[in-house]
Structure 1
Amino acid sequence: MELLDNQTASRKHKINLKKELKKYVKFWPLFLIFPLLFYTAAKIYLRYTPPQYFSKTTLKFEQTSPRAAQQALNDLKNLGVGVSNEELDAETVVMVSKPILGQVVKNLNLDVKYYSVGAIKEVEYYNELPIKARIVELKNPEQFGGVSYLIESKNTSSFTLSDVEGKNLKKYNFGQVVDLGFGKVVFERKFPSIEVKNTKVVFTNPKNVISGLEGALNVSIYKSLLMDISMTSASYRKSEAILKELVNVYNAEGIKDKNQEAQFTADFIDKRLQIITDELEGIENQKEGVKKDYQITDLAAQAQMALSNVNANTKELLGIATQYDLVNSVYQLSNNSSQNLLPTGLGLSSSIDSQISKYNELVLTRNRVLKQATNQNPAVVEMNKQIGILKEGIRANLGDVRRSLQDNMSRLQSDINADQSKINKFPKQERIFRSIDRQQNLKEALFLFLLQKREENSINLAVALPKAKVVNPPYTTGIVAPKGQMILYSAIALGVILPLLFIFIKLLLNTKIYSKEDMDSVLSNASLIGEIPENNDKEELMKLDDFTVYAESFRILASNLKHMLKVKGANQKSATILVTSSVKGEGKTTISMNLAVSLSGNAKVLIIGADIRNPQLQRFVHKSKIGLTDYLVSDDITPEAYIIDSRINANLDIFFSGAKSPNPNDLLDMDKFDDMITYLRTKYDYIVMDSAPMMLVSDTLNLVDQSDYILYVAKANYTEKEMLLFAENFMMENNVNNMSFVLNNVKPQFSRYANKYGYGYGYYNETRSQSFITKLLNR
């Protein structure tokens, strides 16, 4: 007999990796089919997907000084083509701007594409066909998206166009302007030796091509002034041509912008030179007028001369003033009526000094004579007369000298005043003159600077330097898509992951019970005492001599039940067993019947059809017309007349449900039913009651009190987990501690014994072979 595990709420469920793996292994064909399908699809994809090539080019920009922008007149911002680090970020946008891309599309004729038409895929041509088409005019550019034609040409003069289905065939000549409805195009033949057939030409709106280039081109900056431009395309020749033309157009636009700026600068310099020339002429005229007004030849020399004159005249004036004072003093003495001596040796003129000397000698002689004679002495009178004449002569000469000195002093003072006036005017004149000189020097310096810049600007206009230098010309690194090995490996991995994901989601969304582990994961305070395997035979009822796994599982259930009855302390001579389930279809009647057959091997057993609403016992045994309901509504004291022999085993009797009743709940709640169970306990060792589902009706609740043990049946791949929670809640709410579960219809892969130990013990009638994968998992 198998020992039972009675697990409590504190039980921790461990993940059984082998069990989990078995859930996936049963879908093993998916893990072969899906990788194979995805691998095949990947091979087809790689076969017919055009390879994508990665092309790039590298540019270098010249750096400008950060201070150059602050020196407005230093370079006039047009004498160099370099950019700063901040400006380089803006150049990444300019590089892929619509005007530049539009010029690239126009130069390379990218709005017309050519394809080789194959059975499955199309390959793009680029400059490989002997023909070339060009859109001359679009009638409605805003609404035109694109159109395709098939073209064929067998000679050098004409070609045929048709739609992609090969219809509407028309013939045209090369060089002819063709009106195709959307606009006018021209086809030209480049070289005549190659025949054109199975070729598709696609005309596209240039705006769409420009938008496509914007998305395909990638511009990045690294190492300060280096710029990478890259793109991915199915034709590396086309990618390299686009990158090359993009750089050429960008540099051409840069030179054009620079020349426009330089031309504007030249015009600006010419205008400024004319203005400055006029201003210089006005300043020179002003300077000339100032010189004429102030009589200036050399302001500094004239100022020095005036100062020297003032000094010299002042010195001379002092000398003459001194002489004047002496002469005036002698003159005043000479005006005296007395005939006194006059001073000599005072630096007067020699004539005056000679007269004064004669005068003094005569006075001295007279004075000596007067000492011996009187004034009336004729000699004295004569001498006085001579003295008077000399004195008058002296006074007249002194007067002349004094007037001469006064004239000299006046002249010198006038000269000094004139020179002093000039000296006083020199600061103002110097200020005015310096202001004029300063303006003249500034204008002359600016004039010379602009002349120099005009020459430099002329040189700059003549030298067309590119804005960016090509460090690496356009080149292709190789195929970047599709990546063959990665796609194949990814396809295989996806072929494995998708079935895993599908199975995982399927199992995740599946809320049904499949195995004991599933029940343990839901139930926390209940035990499982039996697993009934899936029965593929039509015969549901076991026989006493049946040694299949199906029959043996009921014998194990019966043994476990007896053990549980012993553990629970029930009367082994008269145990009442209630078999119920959550809903209809879980196999409780089959479990009840086979359990009764198994128990009847060495004990007296009665099975009662307590499911009055939907009786099912008649499926296994010939139905009697009377049964439980008939007895409960009759006046009979004992039910023997309503119990029949099962004809399966002499120890097994059957008490059918009887006639259907409108009130089965009331019948089962009768005291007569309780008395009947008490009476039948004296007649039978085991009484098995097949009851109604508990979730559907309340009939079974009346049978719980009369039951020594309750078997709650769940069916694998049928019973929902929520139904088991209902059963567990029923146990807890009604304080039922004599209930266990039976899992019915368990598939072999979910059984605890079938996979590991086989489907029999060697002497059973049933044997099954195991697959290699199943054997591998059971090791």
Structure 2
Amino acid sequence: MTSIEKKNDLEKISSDRFNFKKTIGLYTKKWIWFLLSIIFFCVLAYFQIKITIPKYGATAKIMLLSDNDGTGGANALKELSLFSENEEAAIEDEIEVMTSRTFMKDIVKKLKLNTQYFASGRVNEYELYKTNPFNVNFILSDSIADNISYSFYIDIISDTEFNFRVLEEDIPQKMTFGKNISTEYGSMVLIPREDYQGVYTTTIRVQISPVMEIATLLNSTVFVSPIAKSSKVLSIYYEDNVLQKAKDVINTVIETYNVITLEKKNIRSENTVKFIEKRIDSITYDLVNVDNNIVRYKTVNKITDVASEAGQLLASGTQNEQQIDGAKTELRKLNYMTESLGDNSSFSPIPSNLGLGDASISTLSSKYNELLRERDNKLKSAGERNPIVLELNETLRGIKQNLSSSIKNSKQSLGIQINSLQNQSTRLSSKIYAVPGQESKLRSIERKQGIKEQIYLFLLEKREEAAITLTATTPNLKIIDDAYSFGDVNMDGKILYIGAFFLGFLIPFGVIYTKDLLDTKIHNREDLQREIKNISILGEVPRLSKSDKDLVERNDRSVLSESFRIIRTNFDFIIRGREVKNYKNVIFVTSTINGEGKSFFSMNMALTLANTNKKVLLIGADIRNPQVFTKIKNIENNSELKGQGLTEFIVDKSIEVKDVISSHSINNIEIDVMYSGAIPPNPAELLMSDRLEELFDTVAADYDYVMVDTAPSMLVTDTLLISKYAGHTFYVTRAGYTEKEILNFTKEIHADNKLNGMMLVVNDVDQSNFGYGARYGYYGAPEKKGWFSRKKA
């Protein structure tokens, strides 16, 4: 393996790796575009700063006060019914109110923002806010004046006169302050401000806009937002070209919102009082009806106090039951005594200590028992026929008869008493059973009475609260920070310059990156090596400027000559390691397509080989497009030069090789040339002639090198037809021209050995893209001076 092939293998390995230096070099070699782009955008930034009108931001902070903190009408309503609401949603609702177009309309009218006064500055107009020397008043109704869109120009002449123009190019009309001015909308009057102390501006432009148009603008530029989630503290922000105007707008928003909410509270309190008054009247009527129902019920049921009367009935019922039980006990005692008396024939003791209520029965019982004991004592000493005993018997029978009569009378009396008590008990029981129903009905009526009384008292309390609210309405907000300014909120000049710098850097970077990303062409030997890894690359031919010579010269130290010397040296190294049997000094030069510079390369390579005192023949074998003849004709400026050459040699067998070879001295370098000759109608068939073998056998023996400029290999078959006569083949590609995709054809013909000894060359390479040491140049080459250096010299 030769050193050139080893070098190519190393290039294959290195080409497969990411080359950071090369990637950076892709951009650094275009540094001039970065510089110009950065300068351009920095200049734009400079003018942008100069022409930008300053814009000032102002902000304020307020706290919304909840109605729950007070005792106003809203609080009363909330306690009357289901008026509860989500506090966060309430804050959002208030924000919507503060930024609504209707609300902003009031701000515009209060500050008269729809009428603007502008004075001309060095670059732009600037607004005269509260520094305008006069005011404009339309003698129209508000409904018409609020929808006017009108502008005009005023040139103040003195304290009393001015020039009036509708359009800037109109002829001025001299007018007087305070006089009516007719317009398409109606009459207007310009009134000078008494407090104006400034210097009269030459020209003032007055712009009158519809109120709702300005309100809509404020609606989209005034920002109200809570400083934190669910916070009652709101931040109000607004930007304007006039600092004082920005503050005034925010302060007026706060003031107007406060006034509106106070009015709303008063209206709500008044409506609450009216509502409560109506409810009190209604409840009073209901309460009177309930009282009347209680009176009627007690009157009908003859009750005063159900609970006390129920107690009395229970006591009476208990007493009555006791009396019934006592009477029944007496009756049982009497029945017992009746049983104890027996009949009149028998005498037995009767109970005398029963505690009967009749004293006569007790007396008779005691007398009977006493006489009976006396009889029993007499019977012990005398018989039954004893007169005393018989007398006692009669007495006992009389007492017994009286006692039976008394007992009978007592029984009858007790029966009557028991019946009476039982009837009374029945009446008491019916009354007692009716008490729960009466009590329930009365309690229901009294419950209604209590509810009505509670509502009545509650409404009286709320009426007093609402009445107090009317005289002491609390504000709906608390100002934490009045409107203050951040100052100029336009983009800082430093930031703008930094942005311009980065934009100026990114645009060329993006263009270069995109161009490189979409690039499908080769640009140097490294690109070629990445596409074709198994063919040796002899070198690169630099791109020439218009001032550079396109042919090498004797003892030339130019970049062009050095590049061909490198190719010649690399070629010598390669052929030493190759064994070529036939035509080893015959070199074909071809390319893939037309325009890749093979004729240019053929001539310069032939001159480079001849510059080493070798005998060199250059053959123009591209008989379809004979470029060699044209180039030499242009070099020698010989219009008489004939183009007889290869075509004539093949066609006319009487012509010998020496007859179609001409000698030339190009840049003091001796070289022989065989032109292509006339363009034949059948070039492919012509090149298949046996005369070509005779030609190459002859020239291969007579010359040290034979350089053959052939046709493009992919477009026509000419080169492939005669490739057997080549010992080596220089395959030319062109930087920035040859597509990577068509190099597949080069790979195919090399894989199929259709061209002998293929070696690659990259033509027209920008010196900044050279595979080795871009921008370093060639050792010993004369230094090229730039435009500035040449001017300085």
Q: What interval of TM-score do these two structures reach, taking the shorter chain for normalisation?
A: 0.7 to 0.9
Counterpart-to-counterpart distance in 2, 1:677 and 1:387: 200
Counterpart-to-counterpart distance in 1, 2:347 and 2:179: 144
Seen in structure 2, the aligned counterparts of structure 1 residues 424 and 717 have a Cα distance that, compared at 3 Å, is closer
Q: For 1:355-370, list aligned pairs within 5 A.
A: none
Q: For 1:314-353, list aligned pairs within 5 A.
A: 314-323=321-330, 347=356
> Residue 12 of structure 1: SS of its match in structure 2?
helix
What whole-Å deviation, never above 9, does each CA across 1:76-131 have from its counterpart, x for those lacking one?
A: 27999997234334443333223322222232222222222224212223223243
Q: Which residue of 1 aligns with 2:717?
A: 698
Seen in structure 2, the aligned counterparts of structure 1 residues 64 and 705 have a Cα distance that, compared at 3 Å, is farther
Residue 440 (structure 2) aligned to one of 407, 431, 435: 431
Seen in structure 2, the aligned counterparts of structure 1 residues 599 and 401 have a Cα distance that, compared at 3 Å, is closer
Counterpart-to-counterpart distance in 1, 2:541 and 2:166: 71
Q: Which residue of 2 aligns with 1:777?
A: none
What whole-Å deviation, never above 9, does each CA across 1:712-768 have from its counterpart, x for those lacking one?
A: 23344554545555434443354546122333344544456897665563xxxx622
- Give the deviation of 1:668 after TM superposition: 0.7
Listed as ranges, the gaps of 5+ residues in structure 2 are none
Counterpart-to-counterpart distance in 2, 1:54 and 1:754: 56
Q: Which residue of 2 aligns with 1:490?
A: 499
Q: Which shifted more, 671-680 or 364-373?
A: 364-373
- Amino-acid identity (%): 28
Q: For 1:415-454, list aligned pairs within 5 A.
A: 415-454=424-463
- Give the deviation of 1:694 after TM superposition: 2.9
Q: Which shifted more, 303-312 or 354-363?
A: 354-363
Seen in structure 2, the aligned counterparts of structure 1 residues 178 and 273 have a Cα distance that, compared at 3 Å, is farther
> Residue 417 of structure 1: SS of its match in structure 2?
helix
> Residue 620 of structure 1: SS of its match in structure 2?
helix
- Does structure 2 conserve the Cα–Cα contact (< 8 Å) formed by 1:335 and 1:395? no
Q: Which shifted more, 6-15 or 448-457?
A: 6-15
Q: Which residue of 2 aligns with 1:569?
A: 579
- Does structure 1 conserve the Cα–Cα contact (< 8 Å) formed by 2:58 and 2:483? yes
- Does structure 2 conserve the Cα–Cα contact (< 8 Å) formed by 1:150 and 1:200? yes
Q: Which residue of 1 aligns with 2:654?
A: 636
Q: Which residue of 1 aligns with 2:226?
A: 221
Seen in structure 2, the aligned counterparts of structure 1 residues 324 and 227 have a Cα distance that, compared at 3 Å, is same
Q: Which residue of 1 aligns with 2:597?
A: 587
Counterpart-to-counterpart distance in 2, 1:571 and 1:642: 27
- Give the deviation of 1:146 after TM superposition: 4.1
Q: Which residue of 1 aligns with 2:782?
A: 767
Residue 645 (structure 1) aligned to one of 645, 663, 669: 663
Equivalenced residues, count: 761
Counterpart-to-counterpart distance in 2, 1:507 and 1:390: 159
Q: Which shifted more, 72-81 or 521-530?
A: 72-81
Counterpart-to-counterpart distance in 1, 2:12 and 2:774: 29
Counterpart-to-counterpart distance in 2, 1:315 and 1:271: 60
What whole-Å deviation, never above 9, does each CA across 1:420-457 have from its counterpart, x for those lacking one?
A: 22212212222222222222222222222222222223
Q: Which residue of 2 aligns with 1:206?
A: 211
What's the TM-score once normalised by structure 2's chain length?
0.81
Counterpart-to-counterpart distance in 1, 2:81 and 2:466: 8
Counterpart-to-counterpart distance in 1, 2:468 and 2:82: 9
Query: What letter matches 1:659 in structure 2?
Result: A
Counterpart-to-counterpart distance in 1, 2:405 and 2:744: 165
> Residue 297 of structure 1: SS of its match in structure 2?
coil
- Give the deviation of 1:162 after TM superposition: 2.5
Matched, 1:298 2:305: yes
- Does structure 2 conserve the Cα–Cα contact (< 8 Å) formed by 1:155 and 1:192? no
Seen in structure 2, the aligned counterparts of structure 1 residues 628 and 156 have a Cα distance that, compared at 3 Å, is closer
Q: Which residue of 2 aligns with 1:50?
A: 53
Listed as ranges, the gaps of 5+ residues in structure 1 are 775-779
- Give the deviation of 1:37 after TM superposition: 3.8
- Does structure 2 conserve the Cα–Cα contact (< 8 Å) formed by 1:162 and 1:170? yes
Counterpart-to-counterpart distance in 1, 2:122 and 2:80: 60
- Does structure 1 conserve the Cα–Cα contact (< 8 Å) formed by 2:12 and 2:530? no
> Residue 232 of structure 1: SS of its match in structure 2?
strand
Q: For 1:86-485, list aligned pairs within 5 A.
A: 86-133=89-136, 137=141, 146-153=149-156, 161-165=164-168, 167=170, 169=172, 180-181=183-184, 189-191=192-194, 193-194=196-197, 196-197=200-201, 198-223=203-228, 224-225=230-231, 226-323=233-330, 347=356, 371=385, 405=414, 407-485=416-494
- Does structure 2 conserve the Cα–Cα contact (< 8 Å) formed by 1:62 and 1:83? no
- Does structure 2 conserve the Cα–Cα contact (< 8 Å) formed by 1:632 and 1:667? yes
- Give the deviation of 1:576 after TM superposition: 0.9
- Give the deviation of 1:72 after TM superposition: 11
> Residue 8 of structure 2: SS of its match in structure 1?
coil
Q: Which shifted more, 343-352 or 520-529?
A: 343-352
Query: What letter matches 2:721 in structure 1?
Result: N
- Give the deviation of 1:646 after TM superposition: 3.1
Counterpart-to-counterpart distance in 1, 2:563 and 2:483: 79
Residue 620 (structure 1) aligned to one of 612, 632, 640: 632
Seen in structure 2, the aligned counterparts of structure 1 residues 81 and 474 have a Cα distance that, compared at 3 Å, is farther
What's the TM-score once normalised by structure 1's chain length?
0.82
Query: What letter matches 1:446 in structure 2?
Result: I
Query: What letter matches 2:121 in structure 1?
Result: G
Counterpart-to-counterpart distance in 1, 2:14 and 2:80: 81
What whole-Å deviation, never above 9, does each CA across 1:239-282 have from its counterpart, x for those lacking one?
A: 22222222233333334444444444444433333333222222
- Give the deviation of 1:310 after TM superposition: 2.1
Q: Which shifted more, 250-259 or 441-450?
A: 250-259
Q: How well do the aligned residues superpose, as a CA RMSD in angstroms?
A: 4.7
Q: Which shifted more, 610-619 or 514-523?
A: 514-523
> Residue 669 of structure 1: SS of its match in structure 2?
coil
